[in-house]
A and B are shown apart, each in its own frame.
Chain A
Amino acid sequence: MTVSLGFAGWFQCRLATDPDPADEPRGVSGYVHALPGEPDLDRVVRFQPEGTVPRRFCPPIGVTVHSVRLDGRPQADHPLLGAAVDLLGTPVFEGRNGIVADDGFEPIVPFHLQISADEFRLRRAHRDREEFPFDDLKPTGVQPGLTDVVDATGIADLADVWRHRKDQVDEALTHTTDETARTALAERSALLANTRLAAIFPFRMLYSIALTGSGECHDPRALLPGPVTLNRPWLADFWLGGWDADALSGFVKGTLQVVPASTARVAEAEPFAPPPTAPRAPRRP
C-alpha cells in the first residue's frame, strides 16, 4: 500500500536577485529589496507563516495537506487534511549567482520535509548531509504551465491582480502618515506598476526528490495505515511556481509518497524486486 499526501499553498522566500550577491541583505541591483522597516533578506524558503514578512494585500503564507490517498483512493474527511507542511532546517534556494545553479534551477538545501497536525508528525530529510553540487535536489526542469498555476492559485493573470493591488497600495498611501510606511508603500507601488515582473508567474520549477535520510513517523492516533518504513525512499514530487515578486511568495503544489512498513516488508522479501526509484538527474530544457 502507498500513502500519498497531496499538499499546496503559498510559500515565501525573500532572496536578493542577480546581479546582487546571493547573501545581499537588503537588495540593491536586483528587483528584490527589503523594504524600509523590514528585516534583512535571508533566502529562506518558508512554507509556514513563522518567520515570514507579510506584505499588505498579499495572499497569506501556508502550505497544507489537501488530499490523502491510500493506493490512489482519495480519503475524504481524513484527519490529515489541513495538516501543516513545512521545510525544516532553514532551507534556502542555493543558486549563489550561478555557481550552484542558474535562475530557475536552484536546489532547496537542505531538503527536510515535515507534515504535522496535533501530535502527528511525519518528517524525513533528503540526506543527513547535503553536498555540493546538490544535483539530485535541483529541479528536473522549468516549464511554463499556466493552466496548472491558474488551477492551483485561482489567479488567471497576475498582472491584473497587481493592478488591483497597486490601487490598494496607492489608496493606503494616501492616508498613511508614517514616513517609513509611506516609503515602503511607494516602493511597492512602483514595483507593481512594472507588470513585466509578473511575466514569470506561469513558470514552474519541477522537483522530484527521493528522501533517504533520517526521519520519523510519530502517529499515536494511527492516522496512517500502520507504521512507515525508513528502509525505502519517500518520494516528494512537487512544483514551485506562481512567483509574485511583490509578495516575495510563490505557490507550491505536490505530493509526498510514503510506504507503510507492512508493504515494504513484502517488497523487501521479493528477491527480484526492482531497486528503489533513483532520483532523476537534473536536465535542462
Chain B
Amino acid sequence: MSIDTREELIDALVEASEVEHGVLLQYLFAAYSLKKRADEGLGPVQQEKVRRWAGALLSVARQEMAHLGCVCNLMSAIGGAPRLGRPNFPQPADRYYPFDFRLRPYGDEALYQFILFELPEGEPPPEPPGARVGRAGDVVPDPLAYEFLGELYGKIRHGFEVIAERELFIGPRFAQDTDDWSNRFSLRLVTDRRTALAAIDAIVLEGEGAPESRTPSHYATFLALRKALAAEPFEPARPVAWDPRTRSHPDAPDAGTLITEPRTVRVAELANSVYRSMLMMLLQYYSFGGESPAQRDALRMGLRNLMSGVFRPLAEVLTELPVAPDATGGTAGAPFEIYAEVQIATQPANRWPILLERLDSAADAASKLGTELPRLAFLGESLRWLGHNLRGVA
C-alpha cells in the first residue's frame, strides 16, 4: 500500500503517534526497572554500569518524546488532530501493530525487542534471546504493511512526496510546537514538503543512524546495551513483573500481571492518574484552543515538572512494591493504563478546572500514601505546588 491521499497520510501519522508513544513507554518501563542501590546486590562498579545503561535508555526515550512531538507537528501541518491515545499493554504482534507491545523489565528480551523496533532496512534481525523464537517471523502485515519503525516512516515520507504540496499544508503555523523544552529537546516547524521531509529524515536518522554509520542511533545504542548486558553475570533489573495492570481492559484482554497488593494498587492507580493528566496536558498543548503564550508556557513547564519530578519517581517506587500480598510474582511497575479515551474539553476555559481537579486529587492520594511511603509525601507536595502554579495562569 502506498500513501497518496491526505486521509491515508493522517491515518499513517495516527499510527506513527501510537507507535512512538507505545515504544517510548516500553523504553521508560525498562529504564525504571533497573536497580540503583548497593543494598539491591549491586557492587559499586555494577552500580555505575547500571546507571550508565539507565541513562542511555532514558536518553533514547527522551528522543522518542521529541519524535512524538514532531509527528504531532506533521499532523498539524496537514490539518490533522494530535493523537495521544493508544491501546493498553500488553498487545501481541498483529493485533494493532506488526510487533508485540509489552512492558518488560530491562534484560535481553527487552533489548532484543527494542533492536527490532529500530532495525534499519537491510540490517539483519538480531539473534533471538535464549530459547525464545524471534518475533520477526510472527509479523503479519496490517493495512499499512510495515515491519519496523523506519519502514513506517518511509511510507509516510512517500505520502509527503507525492501529495500536492499546495493542497496538503493547510494547518496554521501557530498550532505547532517549536518551543524549547530543554537544551536537548526542541522541535521542528513543518510548513511545506521540504520541512516535512527533513523532520521525517531526522526521526529516522536518530532511530536507525545513517547507512554508512549506524552510530549514533537508537539502534546502535540498543545493540551496544545488549552486548554489554551479555558480558555481565549479574542481574541489573529489579524483579519487575511484565505488563503490570490494575484491572482488565477490553482493548488488552491478554493476561498481563494483575496487581493485587492493595497499597501497590493504589500507587499504580496514582501513577496512571498522573500519566493521564500528562496526556491531557499534551493534548491541550498540541490542540491549541487559543491558550495564551503564558498558558502554553505553563503547560509545557507543567509537563516537564510532571514527567521528571513526579511520574518518574512514582514509577521507580512501584518497581520496589510487591505485586501480590504474599510477595510472590515480583514487583510492580508503572502500568501506563488508559482507563477510558483521553479527551479534553472543547471549550478551552473548561480544560483548566478539570486538569486542576485531577492534580488536586492526585496530590491528596500521594499525601495519604506518603504516610507509609515517604517519597510519595514529597511527590504529594510537588503536585500541590504544581497545581498552585497552574492556577496562576488558568
A contact residues vs B (CB 8 Å cutoff): 18-29, 33, 35-37, 40, 96-100, 132-133, 179-180, 183-184, 187
Contacts and interface: CB of A to CB of B under 8 A. Distances in A.
B350 interface: no
Contact of B55 (A29, A40, A133, A180): A29
Nearest to B42: A36
B354 to A, nearest CB: 20
Contacts of A25: 36-37
A97 B386 CA distance: 11
- Identify the interface centre among B37, B301, B382: most chain A CB within 10 Å of its CB: B382
Nearest to A33: B51
A18 B45 contact: no
Contacts of B36: 25-26
B96 interface: no
Contacts, number: 81
A97 B385 CA distance: 12
A24 to B, nearest CB: 8
Interface in B303-339: 304-305, 307-310, 312-313
Contact of B305 (A26, A28, A97): A97
Given A28-B58, A99-B386, A21 B51 contact: no
Contacts of B47: 26, 36
How large, as a class, is the contact surface on chain B?
20 to 34
A142 to B, nearest CB: 16
B122 interface: no
B48 A29 contact: no
Contacts of B388: 132-133
Interface in B44-92: 44-45, 47-48, 51, 54-55, 58-59, 62
Interface string B283-314: 00000000000000000010011011110110
Given A21-B313, A35-B48, A99-B386, 16 more contacts: A19-B58, A19-B62, A21-B312, A24-B313, A25-B36, A26-B37, A26-B51, A27-B51, A36-B44, A36-B45, A97-B308, A97-B309, A99-B389, A132-B381, A132-B384, A133-B389
B375 interface: yes
Contact of A180 (B44, B51, B59): B44
A183 B182 CA distance: 30
22 contacts: A18-B182, A21-B309, A21-B310, A23-B378, A24-B313, A26-B51, A28-B51, A29-B55, A29-B62, A36-B45, A37-B44, A97-B305, A97-B309, A98-B305, A98-B309, A99-B309, A100-B385, A132-B381, A132-B384, A133-B385, A133-B388, A184-B44
A20 B308 contact: yes
For the complex of A and B, 6 pairs with smallest distance between CB atoms: A36-B44, A97-B309, A180-B44, A97-B308, A19-B308, A99-B305
A29 B59 contact: yes
Interface string B123-151: 00000000000000000000000000000
B3 to A, nearest CB: 35
Contacts of B310: 21
A97 B304 contact: yes
The interface residues of chain B, by DSSP majority, are classed as helix
Nearest to A18: B308
A98 B307 CA distance: 11
A183 B38 CA distance: 15
A179 B381 CA distance: 40
Contacts of B182: 18-19
Contacts of A35: 48
A23 B51 CA distance: 16
Contacts of B375: 23
Nearest to A39: B38
Contacts of B382: 22, 96-97, 99
Contacts of B37: 25-26, 40
Given A18-B182, A98-B304, A28 B55 contact: yes
From A22, A37, A96, residue with most partner B Cβ within 10 Å: A96
* Residue of B182, B308, B310, B312 with highest tally of chain A CB at under 10 A: B308
A36 B48 contact: yes
A22 B381 CA distance: 13
A232 to B, nearest CB: 31
A186 to B, nearest CB: 9
Contacts of A18: 182, 308
Contacts of A179: 44-45
Contacts of B381: 132
Contacts of A133: 385, 388-389
Contacts of B304: 19, 97-98
A22 B309 contact: yes
Given A23-B378, A28-B51, A98 B44 contact: no
A203 B62 CA distance: 28
Contacts of B62: 19, 29
A184 B51 CA distance: 13
A97 B43 CA distance: 29
Contacts of B308: 18-21, 97
Given A23-B313, A28-B55, A97-B309, A187 B48 contact: yes
B308 to A, nearest CB: 5
Contacts of A96: 305, 309, 382, 385
A33 B51 CA distance: 9
A181 to B, nearest CB: 9
B15 to A, nearest CB: 28
Nearest to B62: A19
A179 to B, nearest CB: 5
